[in-house]
Amino acid sequence: MNVTIIGGGYVGLVTGTCLAHLDHTVTIIDIDKTKVDAINDAKSPIYEEGLDVLLKEHIGKNLKASLEYSSIQTSDIVFITVGTPPNTDGSSNLSYIRSAAENIAKEYMIGHTQHPIVVIKSTVPPGTTDNIVRKTIQGCIPDVNVGYCMNPEFLREGRAIVDFFEPDRIIIGSSDQVVIEKIKELYENLDSPILVTGSTAAEMIKYTANAFLATKISFSNEIGNLCKKLNVDVYEVMKGVGLDHRISPFFLNAGAGFGGSCFPKDVASLASMIAQNDLDPVLLKAVLSINSNQPEKMILLLKNRLISLNGKRIAVLGLAFKDNTDDIRESRSIPVIEMLLSSGAVPVCYDPKATENMIQVFPDLMYCSSAKDALKDADGCLVMTEWPEFAELDEEFSLMKNRIIIDGRHILTIPDAEGVCW
């Protein structure tokens, strides 16, 4: 099929590249010329394992990026993958969604040779497909038979390529049988369960899944905080809990908390929707509160050991919100660094992939090219990201001035590291 993807961010770029690998012809549209040029040069503007290889294989063949919207006119399917950043009240900003719909309508007005299908892949509140995308497009081109579908993404950063080709499920949110069959055909080479729902149910599925996973993490952290007080190994506890097939072992890792572009934003947005419907999001407010407090607990552990942080050199290992990505959005390292700076400490940072992104937030920090350099003469160490290379650190810690090590991710193998929850 001919596919156009509006939005060359994380979801759009991964989705477009993977669809090209399924032999579709894909055009990724973005307003950022630097990003468009990088994609067309087969250089991914984000770090995602395996993405560069796929880009090099398909760019210039059946995959390209563009600043123009003209590819919409000859596309079978148009994906909307633009961002939905949070407003100040936690609700989703849908201005980019509305703008994408308007641009789709403009190109259809110029001319379209296919039966057009518009697919929303961005995370949007229930009702967005019908009340914003459909109404916007039909308001401009009422005589064009446009199909609509909500097809949420479930891509984990750092493992997105695998998640695309080996999905747990594919959700097709539409009541139009022509649209449903076309989306099934798009993914026909993927071995995955397919669930067909209404568009609003599909929109709600994405929010609910992310909120539930975030809840598992915060629940584990609350249990972990208690276990630390009781001198109980929370990881032994959660291993036993996770063996229950009704619960599963996933997302039960107690530690510094969750970050990234999805969980914090989506939980806040869902809580806002609940409040707007005259309900009290008690549980989700607690999930967010527990998560925001975890970084402070790491700083308190450090202060208990050092008494004062003023002038102390503190190694911060890990800046990305998780391993195998350079994404620092809502990273737990950010509030930790802010608290270190406000305490007069001197953070010395290292991350295998995310340094350049963190420099945009903290341009004046000390950044190192290795964990060894960050640890040299350090008065303390905070491990914030579960990079596999940190599990191999051992003798490097002997370079510290004071061997005080707080592990926020349960990744270290040395015996004297203290965890935030264990």
Interval 235-273: pLDDT, tens: 999 999 999 999 999 999 999 999 999 999 999 999 999
Same domain, 197 and 236: no
Interval 143-152: pLDDT, tens: 888 999 999 9
Amino acid letter for position 324: N
Q: Give the Cβ contact number of residue 306 at 10 Å.
A: 17
Same domain, 173 and 28: yes
Q: Is 402 a domain residue?
A: yes
262 noted as active-site residue: yes
Q: Is 217 a domain residue?
A: no
**Both tokens assigned to 415:** 């015996």
> What pLDDT score does 43 carry?
96
What is the reported pTM? 0.95
What mean pLDDT, rounded, does the chain reach?
Answer: 97
Same domain, 321 and 198: no
> What pLDDT score does 134 carry?
96
User: Structural domain tally of the chain?
Assistant: 2
Same domain, 148 and 254: no
Q: Give me the helices (H) in 307-362, please.
A: 333-342, 355-359
Same domain, 32 and 157: yes
Q: Give the Cβ contact number of residue 359 at 10 Å.
A: 15
Looking at 174, 206, 238, which one is the last position of a domain? 206
Same domain, 276 and 404: yes
Cα(229)–Cα(211) distance, integer angstroms: 27
* Domain, as residue range, for 108: 2-206
> What pLDDT score does 114 carry?
66
Q: Is 211 a domain residue?
A: no
Same domain, 395 and 261: yes
Looking at 168, 191, 206, which one is the last position of a domain? 206
Same domain, 198 and 300: no
Cα distances (angstroms) measured from residue 171 to each of 84, 110, 326: 19, 31, 28
85: domain CATH number? 3.40.50.720
Average pLDDT over residues 1-12: 97
Residue 111: pLDDT band with limits 50, 70, 90? confident
Q: Is 409 a domain residue?
A: yes
Q: Active site residue: 262, 349, 368, 421, which one?
A: 262
In whole angstroms, how large is the CA radius of gyration of the chain? 23
Average pLDDT over residues 56-82: 96
Residue 110: pLDDT band with limits 50, 70, 90? confident
Same domain, 175 and 295: no
Same domain, 263 and 396: yes
> What pLDDT score does 116 carry?
83
Contact 336, 300 (CB under 8 A): no
Looking at 156, 190, 206, which one is the last position of a domain? 206
Same domain, 55 and 170: yes
> What pLDDT score does 142 carry?
87
Same domain, 245 and 177: no
